[in-house]
Amino acid sequence: MRVGLIGSSLLAMSLTLSACNVNTSPSNQTEAGESAQPAQWSKSTADQLRDALNKRAAHGLDKMNFEVPAGEDEAPLTKAALAYAGALARGATDPTKLYEVYTVPRPNPDLKQGLVQALQQGKVGEWLESLAPQDANYRKLSQAYLALRKQGEGATPVIPDKGEPLKPGATDARIPLIASQLVASDYLDRAAAGGNRYTPAMAAAVKQMQADYGIKPDGVIGSDALAILNLSDADRARAIAVNMERLRWIERTPPGTRIDVNVAAARLSYWRDGKLVNSRKVVVGEPDNETPQLGSPIFRLVANPTWTVPRSIQEKEIAGKGSDYLRRNNMAWEDGWIVQQPGPKNSLGLVKFDMQNDHAIYLHDTPAKPLFQQVQRQRSHGCVRVEDALGFAEMLAKDEGVIDEWNKARATGKETFVKLPREIPVRMLYQTVLFDEAGEPVIRNDPYGWNDRVAQALGLGTTTNYRLKPDGADVGP
């Protein structure tokens, strides 16, 4: 079985910051099991617990140690059951310890009471299995992990490195595999793939990929380019286990109306009453200015926004540019801050989606439209730039019944606020395994290198990862 690398047609999954500038620090701490509580165990329920633990590879937890002693002693069995239940119900690791910022709502079931009921009913195994996510995506990940795990830790990469670089115009039996990966990663149109010849279209795709990752863009496929496209089966299994863990971190039944931003894939999904109604590209934080994993609602739309330049951007990127630069970009000093006035040059574009959080992170428009055509869209200072943001704002205004107020606000040409009648929850997630139109898992690159800290905490080790090269495209948030 092969799991693809980096998907194109993807179904939705689903410091105090200085205006969209976040730094995270790794941690390998894991969530402790709950303290033991008295409960009536029997041979049958103890065997169910042991059987569940023996099958924990189905959840990517086979490298974690959940000790269950022999016999039917109450306290050790209860302690082990609650520890494993916690791992399934809300994750074996604590994202708030792994990341400096993590505020996405998490599940918090009453595991002690659940265990008591399971023991009373003699259904400890069923109860444990019910705690993990029950959706089709999680089951697909589980199946893929088990299949890859059977192939062994030393499985080879899909595309072998023969030692000699592959140059444009060459003929090679590996070309179909390389083309397939370029298609999956959005660098190559499907119609341009085919045959064993390294075509000009493929070379152009490879050059763009090389530029994104800071490799000399010469179109020659050497070891570095293959490493970006390629993963071993062990790497694939690790990525899948990490993403199962991330699914266990989040609510099993999220709000029916919400906005999910997958930072790793740089895509936004808008859900309305439980149905996916819109998906579009976004630009998120570049490496070293990562967009954090937040749960934060939109509470108002801002037409014709001003932008108060944060100190960090002011000092690092604008200082010393002089009054001519400020004038050209419609900026002026106000009370000791540089403020950019409304208009087409404003770095927030023509609409801002105001959100409630302590990190100055929000969604907004942008005048830098070409960035949406990039394959890797980790290009901002941490905030989320939305493709066709005006269209998206109009969609939200219509759905929330404030379209007339929104149109009037836009027509003023001045910064004007339109409060939404109800807040719309936004979840900024980080998923590097998505699903194609057939429902099969597709592995994307890990742009921030955030998989490693989760993998280490799960006992899965780390892997070599080529990170995107920050390019400082503009001064926008």
> 105 vs 108, 241, 393, CA distance in Å?
9, 21, 24
Catalytic residue among 59, 359, 381, 383: 383
CB-based burial label for 221 (10 Å; 0-12, 13-18, 19+): buried
Catalytic: 359? no
Catalytic residue among 59, 359, 364, 381: 364
User: Are 359 and 292 a contacting pair, CB within 8 Å?
Assistant: yes
Catalytic: 383? yes
Q: What are the catalytic residues?
A: 364, 383
